[in-house]
Structure 1
Amino acid sequence: MQGKTKSLFKYGASSVHGAEFGHLPDNITVLEGESVTLRCRIDEEVTHKAWLNRSNILFTGTDKWSLDKRVTLANSNNSDFSIHIDKVQVTDEGPYTCTFQANNKPRVAHVYLIVQVPARIVNISKNVSVNEGENVNLYCLAVGRPEPTVTWKDQKYGLVSDGEFLDITEIKRQQAEDYECITNNGVAPPDQRKVRVTVNYPPMITDMKNMPAHLGKTAILRCEAMAVPPASFEWYRDDHRPVESDNTLRIKNEKTRSLLLFTNVTEKHFGNYTCFAANRLGASNASMLLFRPGAIQGRGTGLHAGMSVGVSVWVSLSAVLLLKV
């Protein structure tokens, strides 16, 4: 083996590695599932030769001692004594020794097989729905060789948190989004998965105003409410009678707002209207006037979080709507 050099190369076929041994130990790195050929070059006449993995004998000459069908003899002649391992497993990692006797002197060559495994997420939090103000604890568990890093990425702001666990204290509605877990160990492209966090909160009416309307014309009263889950809407007149659709008035409910559509304004339509928005977490109401231009507006509008105080009909209404959501 004098004068021999160490080398690491790939054959033309994919996922096959080979190495030529010198006197010093060599490292061969291979991905889990690939195949590898461990080469032992011989330039002297030998009498005995063997392959060992740790203290386990794999081959003595052409006689196979290993029971593993994946391990085969690639070559056995006067110049080459090589073994082949198919579909390498993590348990194959470790030291391998090619030993032979030449001119009544023992010769030994060593190689260390390193098995790498791409980083992979094996367990991650499911999508979660929480109420605003609660704590959120997400986890992302990964495996790989070498040991992978794990980071969490905030999709809205690009913020990064290192580690398998992401804790959000007293979450706000603005923090509802997809959180991405990324694991990487440099062996293959990173593995990435997302967890959706939904934040529930009670309705908050954001758009309401008094509207002038001409007799015989069209008019619209708008009530917009942000809420998760989406709010259900009800409209009431100033005497707390529910507003119902007819041939001159139509209620149109959308995901985040409700519209009162007046197709032919008459005297009976003028007055105070209250929009009530509710979900299982709470309720909000707002009042607005439909008035004739130039007329004195009786009462101003009001925006209330929760239910109006001192009006029993609103208490009953709240209970009914909350049960419906």
Structure 2
Amino acid sequence: MGIIGYFELQWKCLVVVALRLLFLVPAGVPARSGESYLKDNITVRQGDSAVLKCNVDNKVSRVAWLNRTTILFTGNEKWSLDPRVVLLNTAVTEYSIKIINVNLYDEGPYVCSILTNKKPESTKVHLIVQGNRIITEGEYVEMTGITKDMSGSYDCITSNDISPPDVRTVQVTVNYPPVISRARSTGTAVGQKGVLWCEASAVPLADFQWYKGERRLLNGLNGVKIENKGKQSMLTFFNVSEEDYGNYTCVAMNTLGITNASIILYGPGAIHDVNNAALSPANSFMLLTLVLTLSVLSKF
């Protein structure tokens, strides 16, 4: 490489760095002295041509067009390899480019960078391409009286005379506190395996705790195993003893609330109203519920 070629390469590198640094000034940031950052939107249909205009005057020493961080033109020299992008020979006070046969990938920000009296100025143009993915602005569905049953997928369908209907899917998630929907008491003989379980619907998913009286049960201690899977929690006794019989409380909680259900482990021949016992909260746990609620809230 000769000396001239070397300096030409160095100059292009400096131009690239300078223009990219200039491009990084975001819209909405207060401009420094001698710097302007104007914004305009141009909307064209896919397949049409787009003309991006930039006004200049005789005080301009250097000028360039960029697309994101890609340099399209510096002065009259074309840097882009895209044959669809051309420089227009218009008025002396205008430095404009034309994009032929616009496609969806051409959409985005374009910047005309100008150096005048050693002070940078920039004009930003945002190209919007209408094609197979037109979404009408301002269209919305207002949902009132939200319930958990409104969770799910909703389809927004748009259409016009240019292309087939376009469908966008919106996922709606409704958060709600735990609701214990199922709980089961169990009759198990001494020395046998017994399982108590409860199920709670909640978004986000509920955390579970088990209690006997006011004593919290821990997984792996005193011969019990606690296993939580999604909406369900199971309390397993591997070798039931007389001391294990009695009333247990399943507590379900998330960031929105807390609830509990009383579940009984009883021996063979015992008479219990299983359904009522499983679903009615124990009055003796009102204080426990308050304590747990305060414990949850203190974490947020």
TM-score (norm 1): 0.49
How far 1:258 sits from its partner (Å)? Answer: 0.8
Q: Bigger radius of gyration, 1 or 2?
A: 1
- 1:137-159 deviations in Å (ceiling 9; x for gaps): xxx52xxxxxxxxxxxxxxxxxx
Letter paired with 1:120: R
Partner of 2:288: 313
Given that 2:184 and 2:278 are in contact with CA atoms closer than 8 Å, whether structure 1 keeps it comes out as no
Letter paired with 2:144: T
SS in structure 2 at match of 1:188: coil
How far 1:298 sits from its partner (Å)? Answer: 9.4
State the alpha-carbon separation in 2 of the partners of residues 304 and 294 from structure 1: 22
State the alpha-carbon separation in 2 of the partners of residues 222 and 254 from structure 1: 11
Given that 1:220 and 1:260 are in contact with CA atoms closer than 8 Å, whether structure 2 keeps it comes out as yes
Letter paired with 2:154: Y
Determine which of 268, 275, 290 is the counterpart of 1:293. 268
The reply to whether residue 284 of structure 1 matches residue 256 of structure 2 is no
Given that 2:178 and 2:253 are in contact with CA atoms closer than 8 Å, whether structure 1 keeps it comes out as yes
How far 1:242 sits from its partner (Å)? Answer: 0.6
The reply to whether residue 197 of structure 1 matches residue 211 of structure 2 is no
State the alpha-carbon separation in 2 of the partners of residues 229 and 288 from structure 1: 24
How far 1:272 sits from its partner (Å)? Answer: 0.5
Q: Among the aligned pairs, what percent are the same residue?
A: 38
Given that 1:278 and 1:322 are in contact with CA atoms closer than 8 Å, whether structure 2 keeps it comes out as no
Given that 2:258 and 2:289 are in contact with CA atoms closer than 8 Å, whether structure 1 keeps it comes out as no
**Structure with the bigger percentage of helix:** 2
Given that 1:204 and 1:284 are in contact with CA atoms closer than 8 Å, whether structure 2 keeps it comes out as yes
State the alpha-carbon separation in 2 of the partners of residues 88 and 234 from structure 1: 64
Given that 1:172 and 1:199 are in contact with CA atoms closer than 8 Å, whether structure 2 keeps it comes out as yes
SS in structure 2 at match of 1:166: coil
State the alpha-carbon separation in 2 of the partners of residues 221 and 187 from structure 1: 61
Number of aligned positions between the proteins: 185
Determine which of 269, 284, 291 is the counterpart of 2:244. 269
- 1:177-197 deviations in Å (ceiling 9; x for gaps): 122222111322333222221
Partner of 2:59: none
Partner of 1:167: 142
How far 1:281 sits from its partner (Å)? Answer: 1.5
| Closer/same/farther in 2, CA of residues 171 and 210 from structure 1, 3 Å limit | same
Given that 1:117 and 1:187 are in contact with CA atoms closer than 8 Å, whether structure 2 keeps it comes out as no
Letter paired with 2:227: K
| Closer/same/farther in 2, CA of residues 310 and 174 from structure 1, 3 Å limit | closer
SS in structure 1 at match of 2:162: coil
SS in structure 1 at match of 2:290: helix
Given that 1:208 and 1:288 are in contact with CA atoms closer than 8 Å, whether structure 2 keeps it comes out as yes
- Cα RMSD for the two superposed structures: 3.3
Letter paired with 1:301: A
State the alpha-carbon separation in 1 of the partners of residues 290 and 205 from structure 2: 21
| Closer/same/farther in 2, CA of residues 180 and 119 from structure 1, 3 Å limit | same
Determine which of 122, 143, 158 is the counterpart of 1:183. 158
Determine which of 216, 223, 231 is the counterpart of 1:242. 216
State the alpha-carbon separation in 1 of the partners of residues 99 and 286 from structure 2: 80
Letter paired with 1:243: L
The reply to whether residue 226 of structure 1 matches residue 239 of structure 2 is no
